[in-house]
Amino acid sequence: MKVRTRFAPSPTGYMHIGNLRTAIFEYLLAKKYNGDFILRIEDTDQERAVPGAIEFIYKTLELCNFKIDEGPMNEKGYGPYIQSERKDIYKKYALELVEKGKAYYCFCKEEELEEMRKKAAARKRPFLYDGRCSHLSAEKIAENLKNGVPYVIRQKMPKTGVTIVEDLVYGKIKIDNSILDDQILLKSDGLPTYNFANVVDDHLMAITHVIRGKEYLDQTAKYNLLYEAFGWEKPIYAHVAMVLGEDGNKLSKRNGDASFMDLYNVGFLPEAIVNYLSLLGWSPNNNQELFSMEELIANFDESRISKSSSQYDVKKLEWFNHQYITKLEDDKYLDWIKKYFKQDVSDKDEVWLDKLLLIYKDHLNYGEQINEVTKNFFIKDISLDEEEMEFLKSDEKIPAILEEYSKEIANIDDWQIANINNAINNVKNNLGVKGKLLYMPIRIVASGFMHGPELADTLYLIGKNTILDRINK
């Protein structure tokens, strides 16, 4: 059996972090077994569809280094890969279930359904359709169809017993059939519901493994009953626990949680994002954290997917991104970071700019951060925060250190890093100070920051006259 997994996003224009994490697991599972990774677009909710979203999804997966074996833009015999283009297929299979007695026409009007919902709410019970249309006579059904009465097609659920769901993560789950609603399979507009389309498409596209959120675990009983009704083989399921936001709630764009492109656009590297997300809900059999895509594929073990929810932590993501930034070759780093650099450098040459960007290579967590850490190189007057001011007042020697350093650099004729370091060493020897007490006052007053790259490199780029001016002020 060739392993075939599918990623089936809605074309809403962005890829949610939780959705991408699921896609990562699906991709790793397929590639671990030399299988196929299929992209399918679930656009049955036409109101949410965004023009150009399919190309956007391809671009996102390409950035993440995913090889899409089949999809809307590279069909290979199982298409169409867009659900709205498969409308006739779903109707055919829905009618097949009606003929088998496993589904039925429902002609209930919205007013009737609303009345049922009110009664269920009054009894403090979840709404379940009462199945009244499943008892209509053949003659009544034929009459309604002839007269063009709007209808949906519902799945006929068993009302007794249990349905067993086998899951790679959660094991054997028993679902009481009495809680299963006679779900709609085909809507009145002829489009399928999410659950029905998934079952039909997964079967026709020969999907062997389905990875999806734990919140759909109870729904899998309905899936299994559909597979049994058709006489089809069920895929292997793996339900993964939710990724929670930093506030402990479900990740949501509406709550302000970042999408993949939000992160990419502010300077998170795709490989760092994929690496981090792969470890949300899955763990390797050792303590390794940094993985290339090839290493992730080789090490991925579906049996090590966690049953517990994981929490998205942007600080941890920043740590991963920092590791990847530092590993970039200098020329690739410069090409990358210049996309995010927004300072006015019209009065600077390319050599000066490259040196500035390079000294911060080991100090960045994401691309746009370069503008914050370098802003004081481009303004005349800097302002110090409360912590910096407190430090400058913390030792009575600090004014003398700054005065001495001012004298030393004033005497430098050749503004080079070696001479700048010599000036610092002269202050150290002349005043008998060292370490934090020596370096931090100079850094604060010269750059406006308490921490940063090598001090001499920083001072060199700021320039002699600017430093003297800042010390004097």
pLDDT given for residue 248 in this prediction: 80
Specify the length of the chain in residues: 473
* Extents of the domains making up the chain: 4-83+243-311, 86-240, 328-377, 386-472
* Alpha-carbon gap, residue 154 to 183, rounded angstroms: 5
Residue range 376-426, pLDDT digits in tens: 999 988 999 999 999 999 999 999 999 999 999 999 999 999 999 999 999
Q: Do domains 86-240 and 386-472 have the same CATH topology?
A: no
pLDDT given for residue 345 in this prediction: 92
* Alpha-carbon gap, residue 75 to 397, rounded angstroms: 74
Residue among 253, 316, 375, 464 flagged as catalytic:
253
Residue the block writes with tokens 């430090």: 391
Which stretches of the chain score pLDDT less than 70? 46-49, 252-257
Indicate yes or no: pTM above 0.85: yes
CATH annotation of 386-472: 1.10.10.350
**Contacts with 325 (C-beta within 8 Å, 6 or more apart), sequence order:** 269, 333, 361, 364, 365
Q: Is the dihedral of CA 391, 392, 393, 399 positive or negative?
A: positive
pLDDT given for residue 253 in this prediction: 66
pLDDT given for residue 47 in this prediction: 67
Domain 4-83+243-311: CATH superfamily is HUPs (3.40.50.620)
**Has 119 been annotated as catalytic?**
no
The CATH topology of domain 86-240 is Rossmann fold (3.40.50)
